[in-house]
Amino acid sequence: MELSVRKHDLDNVVQLTLLVPFSGVFFAWLLLREQPSAQEMTGGILTILGVAILSLTSERLARLLSVRPARLLTPIDNEK
């Protein structure tokens, strides 16, 4: 995990780690033909929605922060 945080943006790493439980249930259903319970399906849907909200929020925040900073105000030189 430490190596992935050094290589990639922390926001992306956190979002991927949030999907680990959902992917475990998904691949258990796909490969092992296990039937997820209603609680597991609800949790998976909520997890995906949460990750989607986080990714949209972080993208929007990144866009807001990438706006050019305001010019620094300099004191008026009255000594001329």
What residue segments make up the domains of the chain, in order of their start?
2-62
Structure-block tokens of residue 20: 């680990």
More confident call, 42 vs 5:
42
Is residue 57 a contact partner of residue 51, using CB atoms and an 8 Å limit? no
Question: 5 or 20, which is more confident?
Answer: 20
CA separation for the pair 80, 74 (Å, rounded) = 15
Pick the more confident residue, 45 or 13: 45
pTM of the model: 0.54
- Is 23 in a helix, a strand, or coil? helix
The model's pLDDT over 13-44, given as tens digits with 9 standing for 90+, comes to 777 788 888 889 989 999 999 999 999 899 88
Residue with tokens 């943006």: 9
CB 73 within 8 A of CB 47: no
Residue 80 is classified by DSSP as: -
Q: For residues 64 and 35, which has the higher predicted lDDT (pLDDT)? A: 35
Task: Return the higher-pLDDT residue of 14 and 3.
Answer: 14
